[in-house]
Amino acid sequence: MRARGPLSVVGGMIPSMTTPAAVIVDATTYAQAVEDAARAAAAYYAGGSSPLDDDAYDRLARGIAAWEAEHPGEVLPDSPTGKVAGGAAEGDVPHTVPMLSLDNVFSPEEFTAWTASLARRVDREVTRFSVGPKLDGLAVAARYREGRLTRLITRGDGTAGEDVSHAMGTVEGLPERLAEPVTVEVRGEILMTTAQFEHANEVRIRHGGQPFANPRNAAAGTLRAKERAYTVPMTFFGYGLLALPGTDAALAARLEESAYGDLMATAAGLGVHTSAGTAVPDVVVETPEQVVARVQEIAALRAELPFGIDGIVVKADLAADQRAAGSGSRAPRWAIAYKLPAVEKITRLLDVEWNVGRTGIVAPRGVLEPVVIEGSTITYATLHNPADITRRGLRLGDHVMVHRAGDVIPRIEAPVAHLRTGEEQPIVFPEACPRCGSEIDTSEERWRCAQGRNCHLVASLAYAAGRDQLDIEGLGTTRVVQLVEAGLVADLADLFTLRREQLLALERMGETSTDNLLAALAAAREQPLSRVLCALGVRGTGRSMSRRIARYFATMDLIRAADAEAMQRVDGIGVEKAPSIVAEIAELAPLIDKLAAAGVNMTEPGATPPPAADADGGDGSASAAPAGGGPLAGMKVVVTGAMTGSLERLSRNEMNELVERAGGRSSSSVSKNTTLVVAGEGAGSKRAKAEQLGVRLATPEEFAALVADLIG
């Protein structure tokens, strides 16, 4: 079974599967476990509709293996331990060479034991390993005759597979003609990328079907589907190349003797899509320690991949080592899959709560039967919006596939429709705002209270007064409630028209606290445009995006004049987000006018307005941001941990502002594109990831020296 999604590596350790094996106490329990596993595997490999999630299946299979190890004379013929993965979906097309699956390891200790076993089998230490991603798809064999794709076959039971040649032409990365007219078999994995999965579900729902639970299910069902009214794309990654009857003798000999890394280079040269073009290409290393380092690197990048992986594949690279190690009935002994913890599990949707955010958005949240994913107990999950609930066909009581990766908020992917009992109930949508009882604007996918920000005025004003927005000291939630209840404030601009005698008339407002609040409001008037924009709480933006918009346009007038095309020129704003930001700015026009009339600053210090053609959506340059210098020009910078020295007094938002004033771009996550990580005390996993990726590290003191001219 497979899973997909990201994983954070903490402290430089190899991630391990901590879930224990299922406990099997007697022959009756064992027989039931084998039956459950066989039924789950049959559904999984036939169409991706298993009643068990990947973690549950792995626990069951490990429990079966443990019981069989103690009772070797009582192994049942349907046991999954002796079968090739995918064997439930048998076919009638014989494989020229058996198409085996991989054995798994789930911990550093098991991996170390496997390397020792490999060394014993080849009678020496192995000095070349290939390490690459374990893709979350279906294994297939693509046969080419004189360079032309003639047949596509599933793994089946390892000796024969199902003919799925009808799917040829719908699989990206699987060329219909190779670059050379050779007769070969390319083995690989067919999967759906995240984007393809979303598209597949949209098309499937449009044609009256239930959404797929995850990309693996979608690929399984799509690959085998015949005579559908629609087609959706999939993607192929090659991981093997071998000779067929009719292959040129010299080429066959070369393929037989090639190291795995060289074999994949040959495949890529023929036009086959491999991992080489991804962020996690297969690489060749020389020691188990280097394998460990590469496992960490791939696991750390899991969150950023546009496709699912459920582990890392480690292979002896040299053909001679592979022959010496040999193969068992179901798996080669020269390769292993290091499984990563499951990021998807099946649980039940118990209820839906409707919450109202500070901008008036009415957001649903799923209440779940508690489930543990990656060591955390999950009881709530995102449901996005009512349209998403409708598209996915969710019902109360449904078994649902829940996805959680690293620190990402858990989300419900889809109902597991084949587990429905008929007792599930429709989800009731609110007819009025659950907070204030006003009408709900349902004209867009994200429903919104007709009162907008005024529905949650206290939260909206408290947010605007926060340290990372206008930084109005003395204006906490309690004081905001007092101002609103007194009728002195009905929107953000009203704060700047407050008079001394009005404040003195309030309870617990003496002369000192009144003067301090008025001084804080006066200082807030002078805050840069980026903070004013952030205080407005424009949907689809935050602190970082507000800074980018302000630094690009330089003035509020130019922001208000920008159309969607001009807004897209801001780094990080795409085709979908730009129109909503433009519409939100237009909606806020009366409030912005009131703020300007109250003397609030509407310019960004140090920013240069873009050429006029850019600002109004004309034919000017489409640069993502105005040209600028600075000590961090062109650098992507991540700040993590506690700052010290001259930076200690700065909040994280102020640090990010400092980065951008110095010409850099601030980011919250470390990736291969990160230029610099400023690592303070307790930097933890982000520092570890930077070390794994070879990203430059700087102490707070070193960073302060870089931007010394900008520190006040």
φ, ψ of residue 249 in degrees (nearest 5) = -60, -40
Per-residue b/e over 305-331, b at no fewer than 16 CB within 10 Å? bebbbbbbbbbbbbbebbebbeeeebb
CA distance 241 to 238: 8
Q: Is the Cβ–Cβ distance between 299 and 293 less than 8 Å? A: no
Q: Is the Cβ–Cβ distance between 638 and 678 less than 8 Å? A: yes
Residue 474 CA: distances (Å) to CA of 458, 465, 483, 515 = 15, 9, 12, 10
Which residue in the list 134, 339, 345, 686 is annotated as catalytic? 134
Per-residue b/e over 450-467, b at no fewer than 16 CB within 10 Å? ebbbebbbbbbbbbbbbe
What is the number of residues in the chain?
712
Return the axis-axis angle of helices 457-464 and 529-536, rounded to nearest 10°. 160
Q: Is the Cβ–Cβ distance between 389 and 383 less than 8 Å? A: yes
CA distance 459 to 472: 14
- Single-letter amino acid code for the residue at 329: S
Residue 291 Ramachandran class (φ > 0 left, ψ -120 to 50 alpha, else beta): alpha
φ, ψ of residue 271 in degrees (nearest 5) = 100, 10
Q: E strands along 500-656, which residues? A: 636-640
CA distance 555 to 549: 10
CA distance 262 to 282: 11
Question: Catalytic site residue 345?
Answer: no
* Cβ neighbours for 700, distance < 8 A, ≥ 6 positions apart: 643, 644, 645, 647, 648, 678, 680
CA distance 568 to 219: 33
Q: What share of the chain is helix, strand, coil (3-state, %, to 5)?
A: 40, 20, 40
Q: Is the Cβ–Cβ distance between 103 and 293 less than 8 Å? A: no
Return the axis-axis angle of helices 529-536 and 543-553, rounded to nearest 10°. 130
Greatest Cα pair distance, the chain, in angstroms, is: 97
DSSP reduced 3-state for 92: coil
- Single-letter amino acid code for the residue at 493: A
Which alpha helices (DSSP H) does 207-259 contain, by range?
Answer: 215-224, 249-257
- Single-letter amino acid code for the residue at 351: D
Instruction: Indicate the helix (H) or strand (E) that contains 387.
Output: helix 386-392
Instruction: Indicate the helix (H) or strand (E) that contains 685.
Output: helix 685-693
Q: Which DSSP letter does residue 77 get?
A: T
Catalytic residue set: 134
